[in-house]
Amino acid sequence: MSSNGYKPKVAVFKFASCDGCQLSLLDCEDELLAVAAAIEICYFPEATRKVVKGPYDIALVEGSVTTHHDAQRIQQVRRSAKTLITIGACATAGGVQALRNWQDSAEMVRTVYAKPDFISTLKMSTPIAEHVPVDFELRGCPVQKYHLIELITATLIGRKPNIPAYSVCMECKRNGNLCIAVAQGEPCLGPVTQAGCGALCPAFNRGCYGCFGPMESANAEALTGVMLRNGSTKDEIQRNFRTYNAWAWQFRQASEEVEKR
Amino acid sequence: MKKQAVRFDDTGLTCLIELLRGEGYEVIGPRKSGPAVRLARIESAADLTPGIDSETSPGRYRMAGAPDARIFGAGPAAESPKRYLHAPEARLAVAERENGAFRIIRDTPAAPKTALFGIRPCDVAGIARLDRVLLRDRYKDPDYEARREQTFIVAANCVRSSETCFCASMETGPRAASGFDIALTESVNGRREYLAEAGSTKGAAMLAQIKAEPAAADFVKASHAQCEAASAQQTRSVDYRRARKVILRNFEHRRWDAVGKRCLACGNCTMSCPTCFCVNTKDSSSPDLSHAERRRLWDSCFTQAFSYIHGGSVRTSTKSRYRQWLSHKLAHWQDQFGETGCVGCGRCITWCPAGIDITEEFAALDSSSQS
Ligand code: SF4
Ligand code: SF4
Ligand code: SF4
Ligand code: SF4
């Protein structure tokens, strides 16, 4: 909130997504009131029916572009917002729905829907940044609520948000987890995945699923070698890389390259 | 300080743990936890790890049955004792806004009394390296200092070496020379027995309270001979005296490219290392800007932000980060602190998911500088 009482105008837009990231925002409970007091929420259908016209100071965008209509709408959103922030794996990497990018989507539509003529969809699910310039991409499936608060707070006062881009392993070790990749040979995407979840899965004896997408210098090729040596099959490795962030180029490339090894 | 060496069996060991607990120490020792031997809270000698060994190799750790019933036979625990002295995350200060001004509250929580029990000679040496950096340099780390003052160290000398150990070449083990309050050397001749040697006044005072016979010279000799056998088992080594010269001469060696391709830049090596001390500070503020905090977290030279200066990171490639890491451990640390930053515990080898081996990387540089 600036000293003259002006409250930055914030809008939340949804594209192809499950709403989980917007729910993370609502899940901020204690902090939500403080955030809400500092900003004017102009458009957030999940939370309020109120609609205030743009332009907006901050647009939070959830979801990927999967239809012609989406592709047009994101242009409007970009024009209406000073700062555009994507939230979550769908908006940032195309989401789990980007699995269709390796399939014949027209055929899938024919198989699934009784009246396919009513379905108008693009061949691919693509991240927002493939369509318009994005000011910040907040990772996660879903995003971490404390990241959201940090991001909004930092943006409001004009400082760089403190959101590390290093690996999940850093959090895993700081938290004192035992490395299940080394101690059990489990496939774990932690070394190539950006921190943010607090190494949740390794704490529960599961390999990291890669919810936060590729870390800053993800060496997915080397990790593929590690997983093969630890006994994962090529199929399993491909499935490991093809989840919520399947279309992020580092994971995409690894999932395609593993077939050739 | 009167040099004191006594001999006792499991009853004496139990008594030692009870004495420590009686003095208010939380006893942290090797304990079976899931599929590994880890450092954790010990209530009694029954929590320790008799008959357990660990098999280590680059990128691999497996707990295994031991050939004998030793309690301290499992090699270095999965993690080093670093986290008990140099916390992975700590709040340094809080600022509160008050009537148009702000107030800074420093909170230094009381340091817990901790007994590091049965830690390895390499880990004892690791603590000495941290002391040099965090207590005896231009700046002291108050949090570390407070914790360090409340620490009691019971070392367990090694009578077996794990595959990734190379403390002998780093001259930090398998028998601890200093840096402990008490050092134990375990033997098994039908039953477990311990040679307990005091390394400090505190340690001697503790030993004086245990019912034990003085250790005869031949028992001391036989106990120590086991450590020499452990030393002879080690297959890995680093010639640390030559390390600085070898590394500085080979800054553009092809080997760095090769390891840069294998390295994940995940940071597991620095997090696992008993001596890596680097931290980053993280500031945060509440949405209404009434409250701000500064926290300190373990950092690693494998992150891009680590070398961020105005305009960007200096070390953008993984190759340059690996080179920074190995060079600091073996060469530049010697310039800074007069000793190496590596104590030969082998954890960076074992716990590197990619199985990168510091001794092998160094050997590759070394062999080419010799030819
Ligand atoms: S369990 Fe996974 S995330 Fe944790 S240190 Fe090992 S590889 Fe990294
Ligand atoms: S050397 Fe190994 S543990 Fe260290 S950053 Fe590289 S891959 Fe990770
Ligand atoms: S560099 Fe590796 S072997 Fe040396 S002390 Fe650190 S973790 Fe142990
Ligand atoms: S090797 Fe890296 S993380 Fe470890 S002390 Fe040196 S600079 Fe710090």
Q: Does A163 reside within a domain? A: no
Q: Are residues A250 and A144 in the same domain?
A: no
The answer to whether B300 and A259 have CB atoms below 8 angstroms apart is: no
Q: Are residues A152 and A173 in the same domain?
A: no
Q: Which of A31, A191, A221 is opposite residue B353, by nearest beta carbon? A: A191
Which of A110, A136, A157 marks a domain boundary? Answer: A157
pLDDT the model gives residue B35: 94
Which of A124, A157, A190 marks a domain boundary? Answer: A157
- A233, pLDDT greater than 60: yes
Mean pLDDT of the A90-111 span: 94
pLDDT: which is higher, B361 or A33: B361
The H or E element containing residue B37 is strand B36-41
Cα B115 to middle of ligand 4, angstroms: 26
Q: Are residues A19 and A137 in the same domain?
A: yes
pLDDT: which is higher, B332 or A36: B332
What does residue B8 show for φ and ψ, rounded to 5 degrees? -150, 170
The answer to whether A205 and A234 have CB atoms below 8 angstroms apart is: no
Q: Are residues A137 and A234 in the same domain?
A: no
- Measure in Å the smallest separation between the Cα of B213 and chain A Cα atoms: 40
Q: Are residues A134 and A31 in the same domain?
A: yes
Over the stretch B280-305, which tens digit does the pLDDT of each residue have? 999 998 888 889 999 999 999 999 99
Contacts of B283 in chain A (CB under 8 A): 162
Q: Does A98 reside within a domain? A: yes
- B235, pLDDT greater than 90: yes
Q: Are residues A247 and A199 in the same domain?
A: yes
Over the stretch B25-35, which tens digit does the pLDDT of each residue have? 999 999 999 99
Say if residue B174 is preceded by a cis peptide, omega within 30 of 0.
yes
Which protein residue's CA is at the shortest distance from atom 2 of ligand 2? B352
Q: What percentage of chain A carries pLDDT values higher than 70?
A: 98
- A3, pLDDT greater than 80: no
Helix (H, G, I), strand (E, B) or coil at A172: helix
Which of A107, A129, A157 marks a domain boundary? Answer: A157
Q: Does A243 reside within a domain? A: yes
Over the stretch A61-72, which tens digit does the pLDDT of each residue have? 999 999 999 999
Q: Does A37 reside within a domain? A: yes
Which protein residue's CA is at the shortest distance from atom 1 of ligand 3? B342
Q: Is A101 exposed, middle or buried (0-12, 13-18, 19+ CB in 10 A)?
A: middle
Q: Are residues A88 and A147 in the same domain?
A: yes
**Beta-strand relationship, B89-98 and B101-106:** antiparallel
Q: Are residues A173 and A127 in the same domain?
A: no
Instruction: Look at B267 and A173 and tell me if their CB atoms are within 8 Å.
Output: yes
pLDDT the model gives residue B1: 45
- A156, pLDDT greater than 90: no
Mean pLDDT of the A75-96 span: 97
Q: Which of B285, B287, B354 is opposite residue A35, by nearest beta carbon? A: B287
What does residue B245 show for φ and ψ, rounded to 5 degrees? -65, -45
Tell me the one-letter amino acid at B20.
Answer: L
pLDDT the model gives residue B78: 96
Confidence category of residue B370, pLDDT binned at 50, 70, 90: low
Task: Spell out which residues line ligand 2, taking CB within 6 angstroms.
Answer: B 263-269, 302, 352-354, 356
- Domain region containing A103: 9-157
Cα dihedral B70, B72, B73, B78, rounded to 10, equals 150
pLDDT the model gives residue B3: 64
pLDDT the model gives residue B369: 65
**Beta-strand relationship, A81-87 and B279-285:** unpaired
Q: Are residues A57 and A143 in the same domain?
A: yes
Q: Are residues A114 and A183 in the same domain?
A: no
Confidence category of residue B53, pLDDT binned at 50, 70, 90: very high
Instruction: Look at B34 and A182 and tell me if their CB atoms are within 8 Å.
Output: no
Domain count within chain A: 2
Over the stretch B120-173, which tens digit does the pLDDT of each residue have? 999 999 999 999 999 998 899 999 999 999 999 999 999 999 999 999 999 999
Cα separation, A62 vs A119, in Å, equals: 22
Size of chain A, expressed as the number of residues it contains: 261
pLDDT the model gives residue A15: 97
pLDDT the model gives residue B371: 46
pTM of the model: 0.96
How many C-beta atoms lie closer than 10 Å to residue B152's C-beta?
20
State chain A's maximal CA–CA distance in angstroms. Answer: 62
Q: Which of B38, B287, B354 is opposite residue A31, by nearest beta carbon? A: B287
Instruction: Look at B89 and A34 and tell me if their CB atoms are within 8 Å.
Output: no
Cα dihedral B323, A190, B39, B215, rounded to 10, equals -40
Tell me the one-letter amino acid at A205.
Answer: N
Q: Does A22 reside within a domain? A: yes
Over the stretch A182-208, which tens digit does the pLDDT of each residue have? 999 999 999 999 999 999 999 999 999
Q: What percentage of chain B carries pLDDT values higher than 70?
A: 98
Q: Does A96 reside within a domain? A: yes
Q: Are residues A195 and A140 in the same domain?
A: no
- A257, pLDDT greater than 70: yes
Q: Does A4 reside within a domain? A: no
Contacts of A182 in chain B (CB under 8 A): 59-61, 350-353
- A34, pLDDT greater than 60: yes
Q: Are residues A81 and A196 in the same domain?
A: no
Q: Does A162 reside within a domain? A: no
Mean pLDDT of the A18-41 span: 86
Instruction: Look at A191 and B266 and tell me if their CB atoms are within 8 Å.
Output: yes
Contacts of B89 in chain A (CB under 8 A): 174
Cα separation, B137 vs B38, in Å, equals: 31
